[in-house]
Amino acid sequence: MNMKTVFTAIALSTLSVGAFAATEIQYPQGQEVGSISASANTLDGLQAKLAAKADAAGAKSFQITSVQGDDTLHGNAVLYK
């Protein structure tokens, strides 16, 4: 895994998601119920899209597991109930 991907994942995991019902977490909590993915041009935009998808899926929390890309970022997250 390259350093940019690691840095990006760490940066995303430290941002808050107060405006959404689903809460971003750093460590697995609860029962895993699925996964989601999204794309955006910024880290904030990607986190917001993942949070919105997690909320729409009825998840209580989500954990961003990977982020890749240069101009367009692609991210994956695991959903928890």
Give me the CATH number covering residue 63. Answer: 3.30.1660.10
Rounded to an integer, the average pLDDT of 52-79 is 95
Predicted local distance difference test score (pLDDT) of residue 25: 86
Expressed as residue numbers, the domain containing 7 is 3-80
Checking phi first, is residue 30 left (phi over 0); if not, alpha (psi -120 to 50) or beta? Answer: left
Which residue matches tokens 């019902």?
21
Q: What pTM did the predictor assign?
A: 0.71
pLDDT band at 1, cuts 50/70/90?
low
Rounded to an integer, the average pLDDT of 10-39 is 76
